Structure 1
Amino acid sequence: MKRYTLSCLTLLMLLMLFIPNVASARSIFEHQNTTVPAGQTVDDVYVVGGDAEVLGQVDGVLVIANGNLHLGSKANIKGVIVVIGGHVSQDPGAVLGDDIYNISLDTATQNSLLIGSGLVMGLWVLQLALSLLMILIPVLIRIIGKHKMADFTDHYKQASIGRLLYIGFLSALIIAALSALLLVTVIGIPVLVLILLVIIVALALGITLISYRIGEMFHGPAQLSDWMKVLVGAAILTAFVNIPIIGWIFFILILLLSLGIGTQWISRIRKRKRNSKTLK
């Protein structure tokens, strides 16, 4: 059987060499130097890592990657020519149908591709790191501050989401106005850093609370522990945040909600201190 298959392949190659018309309506895909002889017609030609010389007719596309292309005087290309990382030369009389795209991988192009791929990879790594932090930090907050976080989450069990968003929106406006004023002076930069830290803490607490509430909605065969509820909820939040465009809107809503929670929590602490001072 192997001998019969080998004989058929050999016969087919001989027919393609000595009877050019047999190659009509076929495509060529090579990884070496390739020649389309005069009088031969093919559909498409793909050459990777080699040069190509076309003396016949190509009805479809002609793609050369990391190689040069030479078009003879009797060449007739009816489709698109794409040459990547090589040069194109043609003799007088060659007929070209559509466009020629010649992408030269010179030093500038390679540097641009390297920088672009590096930026894409860097953004992907940053997104992955932020996603992991968005899951791990709420879980750690719940584990470390177990009793305090229990009191924190119980206080906001019946809280109105609309009211918290409204408070968070007003807080964001105040923070933005205050930051704009602090940017004018050099002394205000440390204060801005402090404000940023407060926002990060509020966001972490808000994500922990929201994650816990989402995790409470899922009931398995056994009752989930508090940190497992936070883990499930944080994973769901992270999945929604990573959705293109919608994720940014979702993240802004989480930020506003977290600012509202943080603002209410700070106001509650101040009221407790005032009441304690009054009693004394």
Structure 2
Amino acid sequence: MSTFARGPVEMGEKLQEQKSANRGWLIDGSLALRLLLGAGVLLGLLLVGLGISTQTVFAATNPLHTETTQPTPTVIPQGKVIDHVVVVGHNAIVNGQVTDTVLVIDGDLLLGAHSNTDLVIDLGGSIRTEPGAQTHAVYAVSMTSQFRNSLLVGGVLLLILWGAWVAFSVVLVTLPIGGVFIFRPWLEVPLGQLRQSVHRSGWIGLLLSLVFLAIMTLLSVTLVALPVAVVFAVLYLVFGIMGWTAVSLWMGKLILRHRPQAQSQSRWQEALIGAAVAMMLTNIPVVGWLLFIMLWCIGVGAVTQWLMRLNQRPASHPM
């Protein structure tokens, strides 16, 4: 083919490719248009359905259409049976039957003489009951300034307690990790005591804790002996931290003893695992504090037995 004939042929091929590309765009565009139209139809049907259901609910619960400055109350007419009624921001009048719950927030509630309700709750308003009204349970909370202040103070205290408990849980986990490095030379004997008898360590720790508590209480009565009470408290706290470290190590070893890589675990990892398990146990509702006191006393008892052995060594080798 000559050079002069090739030009028209290439132009024809380009025009054909452009037409096919335009046809593809038209097909894609028509498909997208169909999808958009379908989505619009579905959305319209959904909005119409919501509008019909909303009008039905308001027609049933709010048949009064008078234009007044006050919000129109929601009315359940006599002979009407409804499962749930929730009214927010205005009053409600119940003359029919509500089989489950009537909840009114920031509004007053009137139970007519022919009303029959199960559970009635009013928050921030008042409840009036006409003679002949039937109800099973009525709860009303007055949102006065005093109640709001009490609710705010209670919420702040609850938030503070929750934050303190989270901080306490973090301390329970991090203390044994530092205790492994600080008390490393003296942890073998308490660990041996825990392996021999946990019950004995627990009873010794409980008795010693009661003795320390009694001594610190007696010393803190007078200002002169208050520094001595602080010294006893610090001493007992050191015993407790060392004992908690020993208990965390002991629990970590118990958990990892059947695993193949248990021998390769370092002590701080064993203490971390044991402390995490102990922290989870102490977070159990109701019994968490009892479990913490029990584990704490076991650790204090193990450290006490170690100190008793240290005091007995010079006596067993007289000069």
Specify if TM > 0.5: yes
Q: CA RMSD in A?
A: 3.5
Contact 2:72 2:90 in 1 (8 A): yes
Q: Distance in 2 between matches of 1:89 and 1:173?
A: 57
What are the superposed Cα offsets for residues 222-256 of structure 1, whole Å, 9 maximum, x if unpaired? 32111000000111111112223332332222232
Structure with greater proportional helix content: 2
Contact 2:191 2:250 in 1 (8 A): no
Q: Distance in 2 between matches of 1:196 and 1:41?
A: 70
In structure 2, what is the equivalent of residue 254 of structure 1? 295
Inter-CA distance 213–36: structure 2 relative to 1 (3 Å threshold): same
1:96 matches 2:136? no
Contact 2:193 2:201 in 1 (8 A): no
In structure 2, what is the equivalent of residue 243 of structure 1? 284
Identity %: 25
Q: Distance in 2 between matches of 1:204 and 1:128?
A: 18
Contact 1:34 1:47 in 2 (8 A): no
Contact 2:93 2:110 in 1 (8 A): yes
What are the superposed Cα offsets for residues 130-167 of structure 1, whole Å, 9 maximum, x if unpaired? 11111101111113444x24545565465432332333
Pairwise CA distance, 1:112: 1.4
> Which of the numbers 192, 207, 211 marks the counterpart of 2:229?
192
Contact 1:53 1:70 in 2 (8 A): yes
Alignment of 1:10-29 (within 5 A): none
> Which of the numbers 104, 109, 126 marks the counterpart of 1:69?
109
Inter-CA distance 37–241: structure 2 relative to 1 (3 Å threshold): closer
What are the superposed Cα offsets for residues 80-103 of structure 1, whole Å, 9 maximum, x if unpaired? 43210124467xx67521254321
Q: Distance in 1 between matches of 2:231 and 2:50?
A: 76
> Which of the numbers 85, 90, 105 marks the counterpart of 2:124?
85
Larger Rg: 2
1:51 matches 2:110? no
Contact 1:76 1:94 in 2 (8 A): no
What are the superposed Cα offsets for residues 142-201 of structure 1, whole Å, 9 maximum, x if unpaired? 13444x245455654654323323332332343244334324433222121111112211
Pairwise CA distance, 1:214: 1.5
Inter-CA distance 51–95: structure 2 relative to 1 (3 Å threshold): farther
Contact 1:63 1:82 in 2 (8 A): yes
Q: Distance in 2 between matches of 1:141 and 1:51?
A: 61
Q: TM-score, normalised by structure 1?
A: 0.76
In structure 2, what is the equivalent of residue 167 of structure 1? 204
Moved more, 194-203 or 9-18: 9-18
Q: Distance in 1 between matches of 2:274 and 2:225?
A: 37
Provide structure 1 residue ranges, at least 5 long, that are not aligned to the other structure: 24-31
Pairwise CA distance, 1:15: 6.3
Size of the aligned set, in residue pairs, is: 263
AA aligned opposite 1:67: G
